[in-house]
Amino acid sequence: YCESTYQPSDFDDATQSEVIITEKPVEPIYTAANETEKMVVYECKTCGGEVVAMETTMATICPYCGEAISITSKSAGEFRPQLLIPFEKSKELIVQSYKDYVKRSLLTPRTFKNEHTIDKIQGLFSPFNLHTVVAHSKHRFSAETTSSSRRGDDKIIHHRVYDLAIIAEGKFKRIPTDGVKTLDNTLMDSLEPFEYSALTPYNPAFMAGFLAEQIDEDDDKMSVRAEARSKNGMTEKARAAFRGYQDLRLINEEHEVKEHIKEYVMLPVWLLNVKHGDENYQFAVNGQTGKVVGKLPMDIKKLILILLGVFVASDIIIGTIIGMISLF
C-alpha cells in the first residue's frame, strides 16, 4: 500500500504466538495457528493443477498449461515446507534470459518471441525433496589390456584379462527430486544446480507475489529416483577407480542404502507455457541462477525461406563463375 520494502527476517518476531505490544495491541502478522489459513488453492479447470498462494493473490495464469485458473474454496491444508531458497532473479532479468535463449536459433517461431506470450511467465515455489543418501556397494568388472613387444624379428602380442572388484562407501548430499506430477522430471532435473547454501527456514513472507505448489508426487517414487541417482554415482566412481584398462565391462554390482534422509523444501522456478499449433511447450528458468531450459521447435516456413535463399545465392554464384569462365 505504501511501497515500503521489508526483508522476511523483519517478521521473524511476529511468528510467535504472543501479541506484540506497542502503543496499542497489534495482532501478529503470522502465527503458528493462522499460518495455513493465509493460504488458498487455485485450481486449473484445464489441466487440474492445484497451486497454493497467499489468500490475497488474485486468480492468474496456470504455470503448468498457460490457461486462466480460478480460486476454489479449498484451503491449502498443512502447507509448511522445512526450507526454501528465495527468488534471487527478478522477472525482468528472467525475461531477458528467456529472450536471449530463444534468439539462439534463427528457426524459432515468432510466437515464442511475442511480448504478450512472454508476459505470462509465472514465478513458482516448486516443491522438492532433498535426499541425503548413505550407501554401500560392491562392483565387479572385467577388463583387458593389449600391448606388444619385439623379440628379434618377431612381434609378440601380450593380451591380459583381469577380474576386478571394488567395495565403495558413498554419501550423496541433497539429491533433488521435484514433487509435482504435472512437471516433467527431465525438465526440472535440467534446472540443476541450485546453491543450497542459500536455503533458509520457511517463512510465509517469502510467498508474497509468487505462487507455490504442494507435493502431489508419490513419496516412494521420489525416493526411488534419488536412490537410482546415488547408485549411478557409485558405479561411475567405481569405474573411475580402474584407469589404464581397456574394454572395462561391469559384470555385476550390489547396492545397499544405509541411510536416507529427506527434507521438504521449496525451490524458485519461473515457468512459461507457449502454445504452438497443437502442442504446448514448457520452459523453466532457475529463479536463483537464471538458467533457462526447454525445447524450442523449428519454424518450417522460416526453414524453407532460408533454404530457398541458399539455393538462390548458390545459383547466382554458379552463374557468376560460368560467366567469368566464358570471358576467357
At residue 304, the pLDDT reads 59
Q: Cis ω on the peptide bond leading into residue 193 (within 30° of 0)?
A: yes
**What is the 3 state secondary structure string of 191-248?**
CCCCCHHHCEECCHHHHCCCEECCCCCCHHHHHHHHHHHHHHHHHHHHHHCCCCCEEE
Pick 222 or 212 by higher pLDDT: 222
Residue 93: pLDDT over 70 = yes
| Closest among 133, 164, 163 to 256, alpha carbons compared | 133
- Looking at residue 328, the DSSP 8-state letter turns out to be -
Pick 120 or 42 by higher pLDDT: 120
pLDDT digits over 264-275, tens only?
Answer: 999 999 999 888
Mean pLDDT of 308-319: 51
Give the list of residues 6+ apart from residue 66 with CB closer than 8 angstroms, or none: 120, 273, 274, 275, 280
At residue 289, the pLDDT reads 93
Residue with cell 618377431: 154
Amino acid at 210: F
187-196, 225-234, 237-246, 300-309: range with lowest mean pLDDT: 300-309
At residue 110, the pLDDT reads 81
Residue 25: pLDDT over 50 = no
Q: What is the pTM of this model?
A: 0.71
pLDDT digits over 265-306, tens only?
Answer: 999 999 998 888 888 888 999 999 999 999 888 665 655 555
Mean pLDDT of 145-173: 91
Pick 274 or 72 by higher pLDDT: 274
Q: How far apart are CA 106 and CA 32, in angstroms?
A: 53
Tell me what percent of the residues of the chain surpass a pLDDT of 90.
40
